[in-house]
Structure 1
């Protein structure tokens, strides 16, 4: 497992969070509870060594799927949400899980192509293979029976966006040129090229994940911190304080 050393990289940016405030933002986790536990320990250690009046933790979504321990990730984040008042955003993968749990068993077909079977397995739901056919409704019932109440409550607490100072935190990005109050949540979860290729000033610096990059991509109008943790073993966390963006 690769990990980043503290103070790996620091950049100044033409934006700032409020005084006496530090925001820790964490990219897409995708079932890697091991990396999340290590990142949480790094945040706690940094906050102890460099005290600041207001500490805000923001997790950018895509906690589940692909990696081996989605259930364990939600365990850790549910505790963080309660004890540290962490801001947990909804990613496209959580949106599909919620759709599957609440009303649409047929969402399983889409979900399974995005790593949903690994999430089901982390809760002890292993659909039978060719020898025994199970309907999506039966799989949904199995998951609902095993899905902890704490995880249901966690999903209910997810937000689509969060603003702090000159920064807007979302999962995937925003539709360029559209005011925040008119943004379609589907764009906040799913958008890629139209947002990624835009060089306009969005009014806020957008901190996002969703599209994996080799290294944190820090630009004047957006910051991408999805470093593909589930396959690379690198879960990126940045600390934003004043006008400084530090890769922790």
Structure 2
């Protein structure tokens, strides 16, 4: 898959990171392992050019479904997590996959949003020579799903705050304190959050709602640029009051 490289830009914004800290936020990956690897390479080159005392990669969720290499994406991210390089947030597509891992009754809902590609990446495809029950497919997927990936899913966070920024997959319900937010909203919310003009107390960096290019507002930044459709996986570098799109 070819990546349509976005132009680099740097702009001052009202929010700030802690001193001597750079945050790299990466949008929805959706099984595009090639784009993830390219993005990590760009981050590492950026750190070589611009060394800094503290840096962290924050992945905004939706690692699986739609794209072809969900298993490889989790392999890469699990390694970054173990190395202490990354914070990985939970997305609604991880939620869908986990629901199916717990109970085959959730298969159809998952398949409607790209689960078939994820199953295939683990070497599990529905059998076409005969009717296969959801329970049988569920058993085959559970057998193919590595223990390391189960542990990775257990490590996913609902949100991450640093400096004046809050990182979350979909957004937050406006007017509700962070500690009272429901996980369903953090993973799934759209219109109520996207149309809100409220000051949320922190600048929200999120994905979940695909946009043709990074979408910057006074109260939020959307960096889901539809990697599995556009070939563009957005990486936002935050340092001090500046932002840079790698």
User: Is the shorter-chain TM-score for this pair beyond 0.5, marking a shared fold?
Assistant: yes
Q: How does 1:45-60 map to 2 (within 5 A)?
A: 45-60=45-60
Determine the structure 2 residue equivalent to 1:115: 114
Counterpart of 1:38 in structure 2 is: 38
Describe the SS at the equivalent of 1:226.
coil
Q: Alpha-carbon deviations, 1:71-101, whole Å to 9, x = none?
A: 0100110111111341000000001111111
Return the alpha-carbon distance in structure 1 between the equivalents of residues 130 and 91 of structure 2. 32
CA–CA distance in structure 2, aligned partners of residues 11 and 144 of structure 1? 46
Q: Does 1:106 align with 2:105?
A: yes
Runs of 4+ in 1 over 3 A off after TM superposition: none
> Alpha-carbon deviations, 1:108-163, whole Å to 9, x = none?
1100000000000000100123x411121111110111111111111111000000
Partner secondary structure for residue 171 of structure 2: coil
Equivalent-residue separation in structure 2 for 1:108 and 1:228 (angstroms): 24
Give CA-to-partner distance per residue, 1:32-86, whole Å, 9 cap, x none. 0000000000011101110010101100000000001100100110111111341
1:160 aligns with 2:158: yes
Aligned to 1:4: 5
Question: Counterparts of 2:86 and 2:105 in 1: how far apart (Å)?
Answer: 32
TM-score where L is the length of structure 2: 0.97
Q: What RMSD, in angstroms, separates the aligned Cα atoms of the two structures?
A: 1.0
The residue number in structure 2 matching 1:22 is: 22
Distance in 1, Cα, partners of 2:197 & 2:23: 24
The alpha carbon displacement at 1:2 in A equals: 2.3
Provide the rounded CA distance (Å) in 1 between the counterparts of 2:84 and 2:160.
16
Tell me the matched-pair count.
Answer: 245
- Give the 5 Å matches for 1:69-88: 69-88=69-88
Q: Distance in 2 between matches of 1:72 and 1:139?
A: 21
User: Structure 1, unaligned stretches of length 5 or more?
Assistant: none
Partners in 2 of 1:3 and 1:77 — Cα distance? 22
Give distance in 1, aligned partners of 2:232 and 2:65. 16
d(CA) in 1 for partners of 2:91 and 2:97?
A: 10
The one of 231, 235, 241 aligned to 1:237? 235
Q: CA deviation at 1:194?
A: 0.5
